[in-house]
Chain A
Amino acid sequence: MTKAPLRAVNSEFAFSRIGEGMPQIFSKNANGVARFVIWGSCAALLIAAAIGTVLPRSDLITGVGEPLAQPVPFSHKHHVGQLGIDCRYCHNGVESSSSAGLPATEVCMTCHSQLFTNANMLAPVRASLVSGKPIEWQRVNSVPDFVFFNHAIHVNKGVACETCHGEVDQMPLTRRAHTLSMEWCLGCHRNPGPNLRPPQDVFLMHWQPPADIDEIRRQLIGMLDIHPDTMTDCYVCHR
């Protein structure tokens, strides 16, 4: 909006006042109010759009970085970072199944029947073994029911655990490292290259890419028969 039409309106009012003797409807500051309302609503829309864009992606909504309370305060930092246990010791379905799997109570007890056998912290684990009632963990990384995610294919094609789950060896309590939103998934499905590494290295933490990583990634895409052009078909994830 420019000033010219506004002036024209004013002059019209002025004309009518002279001609018909009609009282002025809008006071002088009405112009300011109108400007404020017009610009203000534009700004409000912009802010709303910005909030609408940013908020759903913010950690507040996606829950990224927020550790969840678990029945047993299991620490990946201790088990992975300090002890160096391989991911597959507990998540043993990850190479062959859609689900990586959570360790059965028995798996916990392979070590904890010998170590920290009286620790209070581990009482729920021992109770589970005795009662046969499973431990109910809180799900940290979840996708909606209509998303059919498959761990095996990602791990076998050189997408590392670390790539999606972050540096779990730094997490005293497990937290979500990425949003796991469709936008985030598609980012990699459209261009998987930057997230690939040789499949034998997918279980390594803090993996440092070699100098010729770009060439390696180009080769991996060919060798592993990865087809980025077909990886965005809806049915790849939704069935």
Chain B
Amino acid sequence: MSAIAEKGPGFGIDIAALRKQLASGHEMWRSLDEIAGTAEFRRFVEAEFPAIAERLPARPNRRTLLKLMGASLSLAGLAACSRAESIVPYVRQPEILIPGKPVYYATTLSSDGFGIGAIVESHEGRPIKIEGNPDHTASRGATDAVMQAAVLTLFDPDRSRTPLKDGQPASYGHFLKDMAGLFSRWTVSQGQGGALLLDASASPTLAAQLDALRARYPKLKIYRHDPLAIPAAAEASHALFGSALTPVYRFDRAETIVSLDADFLGEGPGRLAYAHDFAARRRVRSPNDRMSRLYAVESTPTITGAAADHRFAIKPSEVEAVAAGLNAALTGQAGRSASPIDQAWMTALADDLKAADRNALVVAGGHQSAFVQAAALSANAKLGALGNTVQLIEPPDALQVDGDLARLCGAIGDGAIDTVVVLGANPLHTAPTRLDAHKAFSSLKFMVHHGLYRDETAFLAHWHVPAAHELESWSDIRAYDGTASLVQPLIKPLYDGRTMHELLAVLGGQFEADPLAPVRQHWAALDDDAWKKALRDCIVPNSAAKPISVTVPPDLGGLRPAAKAADGIDIRFVADPWLRDGRFANASWLQELPRPLTKIVWGNAALISPATAERLKIENGKIINVALNGADIDAPAWIVPGHPDESVTLSFGFGRRAGSVAALAEGYDAFRLRSGAEWIATGATLTPRQNSVRVITTQHHQAMEGRAIIRHASLDAFRRNPDFVRKDVPPSPKETLYPDWPYDQEAWAMAIDLSACIGCMACVSACQAENNIAPVGPDECERGQEMHWLRVDRYYAGPVEAPDTFFQPVPCMHCEKAPCEVVCPVNATVHTHDGLNAQVYNRCIGTRYCSQNCPYKVRRFNFLDHQSFDKDDAGPEQGVHNPNVSVRSRGVMEKCTYCVQRISAKRIQAQIENRDIADGEVVTACQQACPTQAITFGDRNKKDARVVREKSAPQNYALLEELNTRPRTTYLGKISNPNGKLAKTGEATDG
């Protein structure tokens, strides 16, 4: 973390020495600094609360001390004063609403334009928590980290609150008057000179409304600007089959999977479903169980690569050669050796694929070229997998448009277009610099912007209209497999925002449009009962696209790999996993959520490989200049083990110029290097600059000093020795000074399957949303004082060029012999009858002894007042708070509670019904969000409980069990399934 960034020039890590050290290959490490044992790393880790000393004046004199004490005394007095409180009942109480009881509604959230089903918990009409919709194909009951933050953006105080005309507040009526003028002009001119600019959206109602507008104004142009679009799959299927088709994968059938630079677990609208199916095929509980095998060829480290059994890092421009090589190997033409991958490797891979036959699956990364897509389809066709593990469907987001942003800018430049209505898109942040969108848009005669924020584009617009948040809107949207689902509002628009459909209706002359009308009208075929049912489920039944059967022409439709790439550095653009193109940059939860592999927060960095860093003499945090075709940006470097050499990964989403939270983040704007919609660029140069900046990462925080934290084995090793987790582990003592607790009723426990965990961070985000965990900002994060109750540790094993990657979620272990309990001088951390290790905020006086004594480092201390208690002072963001969880103040310790509010709610329910709590009834927030069901929670005293079954698996182990803390949270050791013919150094083959 900062400890590295702050060091003076000339102090680097000796990567060559590290290589030698790691050659033996069995050591686990978290970062290069740790393995090198730099002095900064030691200093950082050894400080229990790093940099706390910076907070206090070096030598407080008597006067300062008295002042501080006096202040706290008088504040203590003030806190005791209570104020008269009023109760405000309803005037007309809705029938289904009982104050104090949450109501759950199904709706759909959009993710890069596609729908993912959600169930939203609403307290007295206030949506506070997003869960996945188990009936929705894209969710399967899970959510991702970004969906969790939807409630935060809903209550974001920075949201635009009123229409603006030339930057001045104006009424919506005034806007409608101006739109009436536009309407009559367009009616006369048939829309001549007018254009719509749309964001990515797979909404059927939108498509229908656009068709209606086109019919009304034949000369109106419609453009779509999706900076994260991946058009290559459609392009490839055009070349192969003559029509645009989208692949949908069936990982539940796939036995051997090859990813050609595809991050199917972390990217794309089907990722939650894919992760669910992928993990289900890899659940091993006894030596007889089978699991699928994943080979990943990738151009930047992703969570898919981390989950792979074999991972191969290559430059992004070389993936085409691998795709060609794979096809050649499948047809037996082993002669072509242009592939950057070892021939033996490729042969073994091809054999494995052939053995899996129609259960093989080759997945191409959407950002790769059309050739790679076609090659993957062709490989699947050769294996007979087409129609089985890969199905082709009509693209759910198909929309007839006149072009992209480049076309629109061209048309504005030509004078063909002088009026643009921008719906949701933010081209002034996301446009490639080459287009000079600023010049194009400022030359417009009339421009309307519709969006959640007054963003970069809104500043140029003549009219800005606040958009309704998706939790305030009526709409519909299709999922990755074409399933149409409805979007229904959870709350009336807070700031009089309008939906996209309302605005399109206004353009069509319906000035008094009801937000529901366009959607209901589109689904007029559903009668009232069917509509109500569809609303309740938020799914339109039988709307998934039907697979289309095709045959792949042998010549790949004329698609060829590009000529050998130019020398120099390859650039791989990626969307930030949480902020996407920057649209979520104002969500503090997402800014502060560590990125899965780098653990970077509040900023982005240019990721490079250790070898490239060594060649260019670059250290972490050093500014490097990335230049490409005349454009250049300065970005801090970050060395990532397993990154391909001579290549740099740049991420979108940062460098926003609007939004108060976004302004806190540090980072560069990668759009400035992009020349079009490409994801890969070649021929770039890297030049180190003199200075360094801080890159904030949480990877060293709460380190556990390199003990046997992660235990892993290959499937073969597991079959030989199912008890591999016990190997070479110090025996855990049985005797203890403290008497055992009786657990007469429940005994809550958790099991976390490290084989299933893909490191997606959804659990951390869900925990933050459920438990009112405060974001603390970049400076506090830098000091190691982030408040996440649950962290996901990332470990590496093996050589720096190609390490194995492991993820380990670490919540509170709820020890039966908890070291924290015995050291608290005020009994603020206590053991409950059902085995929870409870923290009593009102007793806590902040000695922090408990945290000092916790071997797992799961306790978090409030050094500052991160959230306001004063309801009048706290602003709209307090709306997101879960009313069943205390908001903590400064000076108290907090930690994971196993979601005690959920346990209590279920216990009260069961007690009222005079029955036991059923297995699976209490679901923790992290468990509920997890797409791979890696987390199991339940009552250990129930013999048939799922958690008991999980814990009886042979690979179940407790973290640091030699300390005799008897944790209630245990782990199932990671089992991978490498191909026995392909041993590689550092491979986890023998536990």
**10 interchain residue pairs of minimum CB distance:** A99-B100, A97-B100, A102-B89, A104-B93, A98-B100, A104-B90, A230-B833, A139-B85, A233-B832, A105-B91
- B100 and A101 form a contact (CB under 8 A): yes
- A150 and B91 form a contact (CB under 8 A): no
Given contacts A134-B91, A145-B887, A230-B745, 16 further A-B contacts (CB under 8 A): A101-B98, A106-B92, A106-B93, A135-B88, A138-B87, A139-B85, A139-B87, A146-B886, A152-B908, A156-B912, A224-B914, A234-B832, A234-B838, A238-B840, A239-B885, A239-B900
Q: Closest B residue to A135 by CB, please name it.
A: B89
- Residues of B within 8 Å of A233, CB to CB, are 830, 832-833, 838
A128 within 8 A of B: yes
Bound CA span A92–B93, Å? 11
- A138 and B911 form a contact (CB under 8 A): no
- B886 and A145 form a contact (CB under 8 A): yes
**Looking at the complex, which one of A106, A137, A138, A238 makes contact with B841 (CB distance below 8 Å)?**
A238
Q: What would 19 A/B residue contacts be, using CB atoms closer than 8 Å?
A: A92-B98, A93-B101, A96-B101, A101-B98, A101-B100, A102-B87, A102-B89, A104-B90, A104-B91, A105-B89, A146-B842, A146-B886, A157-B911, A235-B838, A235-B897, A236-B904, A238-B840, A239-B886, A239-B897
Interface string of A119-155 (1 = CB under 8 A from B): 0000000001100111111110010011010111100
- Residues of A within 8 Å of B98, CB to CB, are 92-93, 96-97, 99, 101
Q: List residues of chain B with CB under 8 Å of any chain A CB.
A: 82, 84-93, 98-101, 745, 830, 832-834, 836, 838, 840-842, 869, 884-887, 897, 900-901, 904, 908, 911-912, 914
Bound CA span A134–B836, Å? 41
- Residues of B within 8 Å of A227, CB to CB, are 745, 833
Minimum Cβ distance to chain B for residue A60 (Å): 14
Bound CA span A227–B745, Å? 10
- Residues of A within 8 Å of B85, CB to CB, are 138-139, 142
Question: Most B CB atoms within 10 A — which of A68, A138, A146?
Answer: A146
- Residues of B within 8 Å of A137, CB to CB, are 86-89
Question: Most B CB atoms within 10 A — which of A129, A227, A230?
Answer: A230
- A234 and B840 form a contact (CB under 8 A): yes
- A139 and B90 form a contact (CB under 8 A): no
Q: Which of A204-239 contact B (CB under 8 A)?
A: 224-225, 227, 229-230, 233-236, 238-239
- B92 and A150 form a contact (CB under 8 A): no
Bound CA span A151–B745, Å? 23
Bound CA span A108–B779, Å? 54
- A133 and B91 form a contact (CB under 8 A): yes
Minimum Cβ distance to chain B for residue A20 (Å): 41
Known: A148-B884, A225-B911, A235-B836. A138 touches B92 (CB 8 A): no
Minimum Cβ distance to chain B for residue A171 (Å): 17
- B84 and A134 form a contact (CB under 8 A): no
- A153 and B911 form a contact (CB under 8 A): yes
- B86 and A139 form a contact (CB under 8 A): yes
- Residues of B within 8 Å of A148, CB to CB, are 884, 901, 904
- A235 and B99 form a contact (CB under 8 A): no
Minimum Cβ distance to chain B for residue A154 (Å): 10
- Residues of B within 8 Å of A238, CB to CB, are 840-842, 886
Bound CA span A137–B88, Å? 6
- Residues of A within 8 Å of B908, CB to CB, are 150, 152-153
- A105 and B101 form a contact (CB under 8 A): no
A67 within 8 A of B: no
Minimum Cβ distance to chain A for residue B782 (Å): 31
- B841 and A146 form a contact (CB under 8 A): yes
- Residues of A within 8 Å of B86, CB to CB, are 136-139
- Residues of A within 8 Å of B93, CB to CB, are 104, 106-107
Q: Closest B residue to A128 by CB, please name it.
A: B91
**Looking at the complex, which one of B90, B745, B884, B914 makes contact with A239 (CB distance below 8 Å)?**
B884
B contacts with A: majority SS: loop
Bound CA span A157–B907, Å? 13
- B91 and A106 form a contact (CB under 8 A): yes
Minimum Cβ distance to chain B for residue A30 (Å): 35
- Residues of A within 8 Å of B900, CB to CB, are 235, 239
Q: Closest A residue to B840 by CB, please name it.
A: A234
- Residues of B within 8 Å of A92, CB to CB, are 98
Q: Closest B residue to A155 by CB, please name it.
A: B912
Minimum Cβ distance to chain B for residue A228 (Å): 11
Q: Closest B residue to A145 by CB, please name it.
A: B886
Q: Closest B residue to A136 by CB, please name it.
A: B86
- B841 and A153 form a contact (CB under 8 A): no
Bound CA span A151–B842, Å? 22
A187 within 8 A of B: no
Minimum Cβ distance to chain A for residue B794 (Å): 31
Bound CA span A214–B113, Å? 66
A103 within 8 A of B: yes
Q: Closest B residue to A71 by CB, please name it.
A: B86
- B912 and A153 form a contact (CB under 8 A): yes
Minimum Cβ distance to chain B for residue A100 (Å): 8
- Residues of B within 8 Å of A230, CB to CB, are 745, 832-834
- Residues of A within 8 Å of B914, CB to CB, are 224-225
- A105 and B90 form a contact (CB under 8 A): yes
**Looking at the complex, which one of B99, B833, B840, B842 makes contact with A229 (CB distance below 8 Å)?**
B833
Bound CA span A107–B93, Å? 9
Q: Which of A78-110 contact B (CB under 8 A)?
A: 92-93, 96-99, 101-107
Minimum Cβ distance to chain B for residue A135 (Å): 7
- Residues of A within 8 Å of B911, CB to CB, are 153, 156-157, 225
Known: A99-B99, A229-B833, A234-B830. A105 touches B87 (CB 8 A): no
- B84 and A138 form a contact (CB under 8 A): yes
Bound CA span A152–B99, Å? 12
- Residues of A within 8 Å of B836, CB to CB, are 235
Bound CA span A234–B834, Å? 12
Q: Closest A residue to B869 by CB, please name it.
A: A145
Minimum Cβ distance to chain A for residue B121 (Å): 15
- B89 and A101 form a contact (CB under 8 A): yes
Bound CA span A92–B98, Å? 8
Q: Closest A residue to B93 by CB, please name it.
A: A104
Minimum Cβ distance to chain A for residue B872 (Å): 14
Bound CA span A99–B89, Å? 12
Q: Closest B residue to A103 by CB, please name it.
A: B89
Bound CA span A129–B90, Å? 10
- B99 and A93 form a contact (CB under 8 A): yes
Bound CA span A238–B887, Å? 11
- Residues of A within 8 Å of B82, CB to CB, are 142
Bound CA span A152–B912, Å? 8
- A105 and B88 form a contact (CB under 8 A): no
Bound CA span A106–B836, Å? 44
Bound CA span A133–B87, Å? 13
- Residues of A within 8 Å of B745, CB to CB, are 227, 230
Bound CA span A132–B92, Å? 8
Interface string of A139-181 (1 = CB under 8 A from B): 1001001101011110011000000000000000000000000
Minimum Cβ distance to chain B for residue A122 (Å): 15
Q: Closest A residue to B102 by CB, please name it.
A: A97
Minimum Cβ distance to chain A for residue B491 (Å): 17
- Residues of A within 8 Å of B885, CB to CB, are 239
**Looking at the complex, which one of A96, A97, A239 makes contact with B901 (CB distance below 8 Å)?**
A239
- Residues of B within 8 Å of A235, CB to CB, are 832, 836, 838, 897, 900, 904
- Residues of B within 8 Å of A153, CB to CB, are 908, 911-912
Bound CA span A106–B94, Å? 11
- B92 and A104 form a contact (CB under 8 A): yes
Bound CA span A134–B904, Å? 31
Bound CA span A233–B900, Å? 12
- Residues of A within 8 Å of B100, CB to CB, are 93, 97-99, 101, 151
Bound CA span A139–B85, Å? 6
- B89 and A104 form a contact (CB under 8 A): yes
Q: Closest B residue to A63 by CB, please name it.
A: B82
Bound CA span A103–B884, Å? 22
Bound CA span A133–B901, Å? 32
Minimum Cβ distance to chain A for residue B820 (Å): 14
- Residues of A within 8 Å of B832, CB to CB, are 230, 233-235
Bound CA span A102–B89, Å? 6
